[in-house]
Amino acid sequence: MMLLFVAYDLDGHNALTLGLALLFLGLCWALARFLVGRALRLLTVVVPFFGGTFGTWFARRLRQSLTAVALLLAAGVVAYGAHLWFQGIAIEVHVRDQLSRVPPQFWDQQAARLLRVLLAAMVAGALLLPLGRLLGLLERWAIRFRGITANDASLRSFFAGLARLLHAGAWIGVLLYAVAVFELPAGVQEACAVLARVFWISGAGWVGWYAVDVLLISVAALAEERQAPGTWLAHYSKVRHLMPLLRRCLEAILIVLAATLVVRQIDPIADLAEWGPRLIAVIAIVFLARALAEGVRLAASELLLGRREAELEQRQRRETLVPLIESGSQYLIYFGAALMILERLQIDSTPFLAGAGIIGLAVGLGAQNLVNDVVSGFFVLFEDYYLVGDYVKIGDCEGVVERIDLRTTRIRDNDGRHHIIRNGQVDAVINYSKRYTFAVVEVGVAYESDLERVTGALEEAGRQLAANCSDVLEPTVVMGLIDFGESELRFRTVTRVRPGTHLAVQNQLRPIIKRLFDERQVEIPYPKRVLVVRNESGGDGPLGPDGVLPPMDVD
């Protein structure tokens, strides 16, 4: 009601003055909304999630706050005009009186400052145009470089982010220049400078993130293209799995570095910046420890297993030592890395070492089975019970040794099952892979068979086996008749073969024996069933004189 009363009773000059003041407030409000929108769009360069749901909510709240402030200022202007009117003071006269107190040179000075700011803005805009074209040329050249297509998306993201950062940085520089030219209070200038440095640091970190992505993808593509036998790039496929870890570590280092530089700009929390180099060192130690462990594994494999001219037993011994070197080196490297991390974080490692000693003593006393397994593992390795690749039988488990650790032995049986046996449980070992082994095949023949014909067929089978199988070391020996079975005569053949090949040779010999027996009409007995049918009433028919059907073979 009061506003209506004022609008009704004010004369034309007062109403016009108030209207101009409100119009000026409206223009300031529109300019503030525009600048806030631009600032939020620039903020998405360094903080991309501002372009999502959170950014939309934050922008809406900020615009509502600006509107509320503008309305409060408008209400204050109207209230001040009403106050002057009630005091009998003409608003136009009051405004002119206040403006007349300002020295004339002030307006000349402000106009010159505004002209300098506009000139700086024009220079910035003029420089950004050729700079944008240059970035476009660099982007097209980088995409065509060596025909690599895997990094095209990353390159586009990198150059787009770099262009946005340069545009935003240029206009922020103009804003800082305007703040300095208009000689705003020192606190305002310092706050603007801090915000500008935070923006530039964050933007550089974000663009660096894209650069790391581009660099790693390009390096990986070049390594894939140029890897060839005999060069150091030939090992790239063996360390390719480290690339994701390297990318995460570099990104983490960039984030920590940017956060450290940002924190240093804010005096109340500047002391926290000293943790930045420590965290970067910790990240570097983690990656270097992982890379060193992988390097030791690769070096051990190349030095011990890379030579093809090694004998079979020597190669098996090396295959046994490689996993032990890998596990032992990993324990030492990671333990040393943990101590280095504690040192970088300025944490005394002495209590941890003392605690580890006490825990080790307790484990040694309480976990006797573990100690027994480790000690037995040493004896298995150094007394050469078996090696990786040997065909062994340990208890009820029979198969090929796949891995020997200090605590366990892993065996793959003929059915593909994976057995893990504690070394402390290894009591009796049958090793079929020491120098040679025997392929033993037993076969039964009918009692009516000619023994000389059977022996000749077995000897011929041994000769054919030796001619077609490279694993045979000596001709097959026919041990002769070894047993009188219930329905068969059992013969045994023994063939000396290479270690661990006895099962394969046995499977190869049996079909040869069956084929030769068929050719020489040697019968291999098998169970038969005889059906007897009685006719209790007697009479004529197919039955015999005693009423019993003659025996018939039924397969």
Angstrom CA distances, 102 to 96, 107, 109, 398, 453, stand at 10, 8, 12, 104, 135
Reply yes or no on whether the pLDDT at 101 is more than 80. Answer: no
Which residue shows structure tokens 């503030």?
A: 32
**Residues 117 and 166 occupy one common structural domain:** yes
For residue 115, count other CB atoms closer than 10 A to its CB: 11
Residue 61, in any domain of the structure? yes
Domain boundary residue, one of 30, 59, 87: 87
pLDDT over 70 for what percent of the chain?
Answer: 72
**Residues 209 and 131 occupy one common structural domain:** yes
CA 435 to chain centre: 44
Reply yes or no on whether the pLDDT at 74 is more than 80. Answer: no
**Residues 445 and 417 occupy one common structural domain:** no
Give dist(CA 505, CA 31) in Å, integer: 91
Q: Which of 151, 286, 261 is nearest to 205 (CA)?
A: 261
More confident residue, 361 or 542: 361
More confident residue, 145 or 479: 479
pLDDT over 90 for what percent of the chain?
Answer: 5
502, 435 in Cβ contact below 8 A? no
Which residue shows structure tokens 């300025």?
A: 346
Structure tokens at 439: 């392929």
What is the mean predicted confidence (pLDDT) over 35-58? 60
Reply yes or no on whether the pLDDT at 323 is more than 60. Answer: yes
Reply yes or no on whether the pLDDT at 378 is more than 60. Answer: yes
Please report, for the chain, how many H helices and E strands are present, in that order: 15, 10
Structure tokens at 69: 């402030």
**Residues 221 and 304 occupy one common structural domain:** no
- How many Cα atoms sit within 13 Å of 219 on the Cβ side? 16
pLDDT of res. 35: 64
**Residues 72 and 126 occupy one common structural domain:** no
Residue 135, in any domain of the structure? yes
Residue 215, in any domain of the structure? yes
The amino acid that residue 266 corresponds to is: I
**Residues 413 and 370 occupy one common structural domain:** no
More confident residue, 6 or 434: 434
CATH of the domain at 425: 2.30.30.60
What is the mean predicted confidence (pLDDT) over 474-490? 87
Reply yes or no on whether the pLDDT at 2 is more than 50. Answer: no
Angle of helix 91-100 relative to helix 53-86, nearest 10 degrees, comes to 100
Give dist(CA 86, CA 5) in Å, integer: 12
Phi/psi for 52 (5° steps) reads -100, -150
CATH of the domain at 506: 3.30.70.100
Residues 169-172: contacts with CB within 8 Å, 24+ apart?
A: 169/199, 169/200, 169/203, 170/124, 170/127, 170/128, 171/38, 171/42, 171/121, 171/124, 172/42, 172/196, 172/199, 172/200
Give dist(CA 213, CA 217) in Å, integer: 6
Residue 65, in any domain of the structure? yes
Which residue segment(s) compose the domain that 479 sits in? Answer: 437-526
Q: Which helix (H) or strand (E) holds 419?
A: strand 418-422
Residue 252, in any domain of the structure? no
CA Rg value for the chain: 46
How does pLDDT run across 396-441, given as a tens digit for each residue?
A: 888 888 888 777 888 888 888 888 888 888 888 888 877 788 889 9
- How many Cα atoms sit within 13 Å of 148 on the Cβ side? 24
How does pLDDT run across 277-296, given as a tens digit for each residue?
A: 899 999 999 999 998 988 88
Phi/psi for 79 (5° steps) reads -65, -40
pLDDT of res. 10: 45
- Using CA of residue 196, residue 197, residue 198, residue 202, what is the dihedral sign? positive
Give dist(CA 5, CA 140) in Å, integer: 68
**Residues 449 and 511 occupy one common structural domain:** yes
For residue 131, count other CB atoms closer than 10 A to its CB: 14
**Residues 420 and 478 occupy one common structural domain:** no
The amino acid that residue 454 corresponds to is: V
Domain boundary residue, one of 87, 122, 153: 87
**Residues 162 and 220 occupy one common structural domain:** yes
For residue 388, count other CB atoms closer than 10 A to its CB: 20
**Residues 32 and 125 occupy one common structural domain:** no
407, 374 in Cβ contact below 8 A? yes
More confident residue, 67 or 343: 343
pLDDT of res. 285: 93
Which pLDDT band holds residue 367 (cuts at 50, 70, 90)? low
Helices (H), 227-242: 236-239
**Residues 61 and 128 occupy one common structural domain:** no
pLDDT of res. 375: 75
DSSP 522: -
Q: Which of 4, 160, 198 is nearest to 82 (CA)?
A: 4
Total domains in the chain come to: 5
DSSP 10: S
How does pLDDT run across 205-244, given as a tens digit for each residue?
A: 877 887 887 777 777 777 666 665 655 556 667 777 888 8
For the question of whether the overall pTM of this predicted structure is more than 0.85, the answer is no
How does pLDDT run across 451-466, given as a tens digit for each residue?
A: 888 888 998 998 999 8
Residue 242, in any domain of the structure? no
Which residue shows structure tokens 């209400």?
A: 75
Reply yes or no on whether the pLDDT at 542 is more than 60. Answer: no
Which residue shows structure tokens 């944008």?
A: 132
Residue 71, in any domain of the structure? yes
Domain boundary residue, one of 329, 355, 375: 375
Residue 36, in any domain of the structure? yes
Structure tokens at 349: 């490692």
CATH of the domain at 327: 1.10.287.1260
Q: Which helix (H) or strand (E) holds 91?
A: helix 91-100
More confident residue, 337 or 202: 337
Mean pLDDT lowest for which of 17-26, 46-55, 359-368? 46-55
Angstrom CA distances, 393 to 233, 358, 361, 430, 431, stand at 42, 39, 35, 5, 6
Q: Average pLDDT of the chain?
A: 77
Q: Which of 410, 434, 430 is nearest to 420 (CA)?
A: 410
**Residues 80 and 112 occupy one common structural domain:** no
